[in-house]
Amino acid sequence: GQQVQQSPASLVLQEGENAELQCNFSSTATRLQWFYQHPGGRLVSLFYNPSGTKHTGRLTSTTVTNERRSSLHISSSQTTDSGTYFCAIASSSFSKLVFGQGTSLSVVP
């Protein structure tokens, strides 16, 4: 089945630094989604991005489908960016999403 590897597992940044989170997957992804989990547990969708590049605010998601990888770039990090970031992949429009293990980000002042 589909395997999803995220790196790094954890990351500590000084406020203002940039971060690059990676997601690699084992087979073609028709659906790819990035999520952010608040320290309190709430999960929110950041991007639905099976191919190409998308931006929102200080976040950029880039997916290179034929290389089976996606990245999430956070620019000018803030302490409120702290939390866990997940990518999730599905091989077809109607198959279930498989989640990576997540990247735990801590941004310190």
Partner 1 sequence: EAAVTQSPRNKVTVTGGNVTLSCRQTNSHNYMYWYRQDTGHGLRLIHYSYGAGNLQIGDVPDGYKATRTTQEDFFLLLELASPSQTSLYFCASSDQQRGQNTLYFGAGTRLSVL
Which residues of this protein are in contact with partner 1, per CB under 8 A? 31, 33, 35, 41-45, 48, 86, 88, 90, 93-94, 96-97, 99-102
Q: How far is the CB of 76 from partner 1 (least distance, A)?
A: 25
Largest Cα–Cα distance of the chain, in whole Å?
A: 43
**Nearer CB in complex with partner 1: 28/45:** 45
Q: Is 80 exposed, middle or buried (0-12, 13-18, 19+ CB in 10 A)?
A: exposed
H-helix or E-strand containing 59? Answer: strand 59-64
Q: How far is the CB of 61 from partner 1 (least distance, A)?
A: 13
**Nearer CB in complex with partner 1: 50/71:** 50
